[in-house]
Amino acid sequence: MKLKCVNCAETYPPIMIYSCNKCDGILEVFYEKKDLNDLNKEHLEMNKVNTMWRYSDRLSIGDDDNIISLYEGGTPLHFSKRYKSELNFFKGELYFKDETVNPTGSFKDRLVSVAISKAKEFGYNKIVCASSGNAGASAAAYAAKSGIDAVILAPQSTPKEKVIQILAYGATVLLVKGHYSNSYKLAKELSERHNLCNVSTTYLNPYGTDALKTVAFELNNQLKGEVPDYIFIPIGSGPLLKGVYQGYNELVQSLGNIGATMPKLIGVQAEGCAPIVSAFENNKEVVTAWGESNTIASGISDPLIGYEKDGTYTLKLIRDSKGSAVSVTDEEIKKAMRDLSQFEGIFAEPTGAASLAGFRKLCEKGAINSSSRVACLITGHGFKDMKIYQEMENGLHYINDISDLNAFL
Ligand SMILES: [Zn+2]
């Protein structure tokens, strides 16, 4: 295992660096083909068998004693019946990969578990994380578990539930003026000046990003090797999409042509902050930063200012997979939130439901073959951002006594 620049292919030993020394490119954890061993080994202690650590042979931690785990991953895959009918998607298969049930309520736990395990392995006693909320909550929880101090930088607009969750785990929280990119920049400075391990969940931490491939391994296992035609993924800068890409890429390499192929990856952004979708729709190779972001989907409200290259890389992966990118309005996201909870029993925050909103949009446009197999990643729990649900029409009735009840009935 080594680190490899996705831009110039320069390689590095597995040390803690955040970008290529030669070209400032994104680094990924690179496995030689001979290292892509059988994924069905289950040699772990029993209670880790149903977590992402069943794939620990493909994760970057050298010594199992360094693993900081709250039992992340191993999330359920729901087969949709009611919503599928609602959409007239009768011939197709629709699945929801429910990442809301991770220990702190979002998929970020996979990334952070490995990033903080790695920080421990490298001997750090402090971490820093720029976050729109979920990564910060995750970093704070895993830091607490490991006894490492955590500093979390988040935009002042971060939903209060997320801020409260971060504080509850005992982290230091710095609320930063302006959009996410400001928090990102300050976290980078703090990390460089004071030697804090940076576990921000953009492409900065190659070990963390690498862990997101376990989503693909689990999907492949849960679908018994059947590959979805499309996977819908909410994206800010896009490490989750990279994780799914890398997971299927490794499966293709290790299983050869008897097994996996690459699904079409669909990146979903909010219309109020859609730098990658904009570049995709305008047939551009390079992503440019977004101006003023304005959306209820705080988890993907990332204008990419100063790290536009992250978006460019995600765009490349989308095209390599023959996928596409789609933006959805806040109203479409709200409808998807309501539909997910009322047809499927899954309670998601706005970002978490954006994948479904994207699927619905492409379905209604006729861009999805009606007999396709589709998976939507539901990335974060509804408890994390209650304001939007509170503002929605909720059909609440007030009853004072039996006469009110009789009148109501
Ligand atoms: Zn490079």
Note the pLDDT of residue 296.
95
pLDDT of 78 reads 98
pLDDT of residue 397: 84
SS3 content of the chain, % helix, strand, coil (to 5): 45, 15, 40
- Phi/psi region, residue 360 (left: phi>0; alpha: psi -120 to 50; beta: rest), is alpha
In single-letter form, the type of residue at position 389 comes to Y
pLDDT at 42 (0 to 100): 52
- How deeply is 365 buried, as exposed, middle or buried, from its count of CB atoms within 10 A (0-12, 13-18, 19+)? exposed
Residue 132 Cα, ligand 1 centroid: separation in angstroms? 28
Each residue's pLDDT expressed in tens, for the chain with a length of 409 residues: 999 999 999 999 999 999 999 999 999 999 887 777 666 555 566 667 889 999 998 999 988 899 999 999 999 999 999 999 888 888 999 999 999 999 999 999 999 999 999 999 999 999 999 999 999 999 999 999 999 999 999 999 999 999 999 999 999 999 999 989 999 999 999 999 999 999 998 999 999 999 999 999 999 999 999 999 999 999 999 999 999 999 999 998 887 656 678 999 999 999 999 999 999 999 999 999 999 899 999 999 999 999 999 999 999 999 999 999 999 999 999 999 999 999 999 999 999 999 999 999 999 999 999 999 999 999 999 999 999 988 887 778 888 888 888 888 7
Strand-by-strand arrangement of the 27-30 sheet: 11-12, 2-5, 27-30
Helices of type H across 40-152: 82-86, 108-121, 134-146
Domains and CATH numbers, the chain: 77-105+209-391 (3.40.50.1100)
Q: Are 57 and 27 in contact (CB under 8 A)?
A: no
8 Cα: distance to centroid of ligand 1 (angstroms) = 4
The Å distance, Cα 29 to ligand 1 centre, comes to 13
User: Is-contact 179 305, C-beta < 8 A?
Assistant: yes
Cα 46 to ligand 1 centroid, rounded to whole Å: 41
Q: What is the pLDDT of residue 229?
A: 97
CA atoms of 142 and 314, how far apart (whole Å): 27
Report CA(203)–ligand 1 centroid distance (Å): 14
Q: What is the pLDDT of residues 312-349, one digit of tens each?
A: 999 999 999 999 999 999 999 999 999 999 999 999 99
307 CA to middle of ligand 1, Å?
A: 15
Our CA angle for 345, 48, 125, nearest 5°, is 105
Distance 63 CA to ligand 1 centre (A): 28
What is the structure's pLDDT at 259? 64
CA of 207 to the centre of ligand 1 (A): 17
